[in-house]
Amino acid sequence: MRQIWEKTGYALAETGIFAQEFLLRLELLKFYQEKMGVSAYLVGIGVALGLIWDALSDPIMGYISDHTQSRWGNRRPYLLAGGVLLAICNYFLFHPPDVKNSWLLFFYLVIGYLALNTALTVLSVPHAALSGELAFNPQERVGVFVLRFTFGNLGLFVALLALTMLEVQNASRLVSTIVFFTALISFFAVRKVPSYPIKTKIGLRKSMVDFFSSLKVLWKNGYFRPLVLAYTIAYTGIAINSATGRYYYEYFLGFNRQETGVVLIVFLLVWTLSLVLWSTLARRLDKKTLGFWGVFLLGIMTTFGYPLFPAGKMLWPILAAVVGGLLVGSIVLLDSLVADIVDYDELKTREHREGLYFGLWKMAVKLSRALGLFLSGLALSAIGVDQKRDLSAASGHLGLLFGPGVGLFFILGAIVFLFMPLTAKRHERIQNLLVRRLKLTGQKVAAATGHSVGT
């Protein structure tokens, strides 16, 4: 029962994180442009600066959490600190001062968004790193990631409902409240503190040298490099899908906002339920094989399905939402493999760098999201989707953009994923060697000190 409460309470913080990210993606640019009167050009610059800092700060935060020493462990303090800071920054970002000067509001946006992304990194990176430390068994790890994604999707539903029923600033207050309490619950739920060798404190200069040398080690990891490349490619497709979805449903299929919302709700529900299926399959089959077929089949369905759907018909998009939601759940297996790869790194280097690995993982996700948005903008402009042209003339191209333009990224990502050599049997051998080393280390410490050491 204790483990169930710990893992559930830990995963609950993802509700606030997902709700926060959804609010920012959907409303930040629109809020400062339309309500506050800042030009779209300046808002775009401010958001871009925040996104760049957000991506770069992830591995830095991961490294910091790896080297933190406290009676609460090296990750837990950041759940509390990040949750409090994020709730405060979110409130002030959506409650700017009542001034008419666009430049003052622009600087307020830049400072506020940089502060918010810093707080989000402080919370989300150590929280993600904990997922691999709460369970040693690879099947149990999948279960932890399933809980994370499930509560994350709950955050999407809550944020979507809040933005549907409330004014943006009231919705931001609700999101701040959710962020604070879910992070607080996670902080108190995670009581198991992993025991790692004490790291010698070093100065700032040596820390920077160690940070960059660690990045080189991670990039040379033959398991991690193909995995992160595959995920980056596949997630670029997801970013293009998100950026072009509204255009596809409105101008290619002729759906109104309510019909599009029904499709999205079906997709999110099936995606959430599918996580249980992929978790069950991962207990019996190799995660690499499952992950490949899930992403590959998603690419095939996307490439050959969406361009052929007839306009005005709900049946086929609903079926695609069911199949797509079922297959996209396989992404959780790729996430869980990061924790497995950390075991290999620890075996080879005797360093525990879960924070740095998940920091780089999150950075790759954000960079692929930025790349997807950039490519979407270029493609939409090239096919004539802008305010000065007839959007109906571009509808035929939207099917190709939303279909093969997205699906080929999934297919390519799946193919690259095949070159990731970590299998279930190899990981089992790695963990067996780790356990033997930990037992041997514990025996040596016990002989030297006269005290037993738990592993």
Q: For 1-187, which CATH superfamily applies?
A: MFS general substrate transporter like domains (1.20.1250.20)
| Integer Rg of the chain from CA | 23
**DSSP letters spanning 253-267:** S---HHHHHHHHHHH
Give pLDDT, residue 446: 39
| H helical segments located in 31-137 | 40-66, 76-93, 102-130
Give pLDDT, residue 445: 36
Q: How far apart are CA 357 and CA 339, in angstroms?
A: 8
Helices (H) and strands (E) in the chain, counts: 16, 0
Across all residues in the chain, what is the average pLDDT? 81
Which region among 315-319, 340-344, 412-416 has the lowest average model confidence (pLDDT)? 340-344
Which region among 100-104, 180-184, 202-206 has the lowest average model confidence (pLDDT)? 202-206
Closest CA to 192 of 80, 76, 83: 76
The yes-or-no verdict on residue 16 having pLDDT over 80 is yes
Indicate the pLDDT class of residue 318, thresholds 50, 70 and 90: very high
Q: Which residues neighbour 273 within 8 Å (Cβ) at sequence distance 6 or greater?
A: 325
Indicate the pLDDT class of residue 144, thresholds 50, 70 and 90: confident
Are the C-beta atoms of 14 and 148 separated by less than 8 Å? yes
Q: 220-430, which class in CATH?
A: mainly alpha
Domains 1-187 and 220-430 share a fold: yes
The yes-or-no verdict on residue 380 having pLDDT over 80 is no
Give the rounded percent of residues in the chain with a pLDDT score beyond 90. Answer: 21
Give pLDDT, residue 24: 82
Q: What does the block give as tokens for 162?
A: 């809040």
Give pLDDT, residue 177: 93
Indicate the pLDDT class of residue 388, thresholds 50, 70 and 90: very low
Give pLDDT, residue 332: 81
Of 126 and 201, the one with more pLDDT: 126
Give pLDDT, residue 422: 86
Residue 70: count of CB within 10 angstroms of its CB = 11
Q: What is the pLDDT of residues 51-107, one digit of tens each?
A: 788 888 888 888 888 877 777 777 888 999 999 999 999 999 999 888 888 788 888
Give pLDDT, residue 454: 39
Q: How far apart are CA 146 and CA 277, in angstroms?
A: 10
Q: For residue 246, give the H/E element and its range.
A: helix 224-247
Give pLDDT, residue 196: 52
Domain ranges of the chain: 1-187, 220-430
**How many Cα atoms within 13 Å fall on the side-chain side of residue 189?**
23
The yes-or-no verdict on residue 316 having pLDDT over 70 is yes
Are the C-beta atoms of 181 and 293 separated by less than 8 Å? no
Q: In whole angstroms, how far apart are CA 49 and each of 23, 107, 151, 238, 326?
A: 18, 11, 29, 22, 35
Q: How far apart are CA 272 and CA 154, in angstroms?
A: 9
Give pLDDT, residue 430: 87
What is the chain's percent helix, strand, coil content, to nearest 5? 80, 0, 20
Indicate the pLDDT class of residue 452, thresholds 50, 70 and 90: very low
Of 230 and 431, the one with more pLDDT: 230
Q: How far apart are CA 399 and CA 405, in angstroms?
A: 9
Give 32's DSSP letter: I
Burial of 206 (C-beta count, 10 Å sphere; 0-12/13-18/19+)? exposed
Q: How far apart are CA 164 and CA 225, in angstroms?
A: 41
Give pLDDT, residue 406: 92
Indicate the pLDDT class of residue 455, thresholds 50, 70 and 90: very low
Give pLDDT, residue 443: 43
Q: What does the block give as tokens for 209?
A: 């040298």
The yes-or-no verdict on residue 413 having pLDDT over 90 is yes
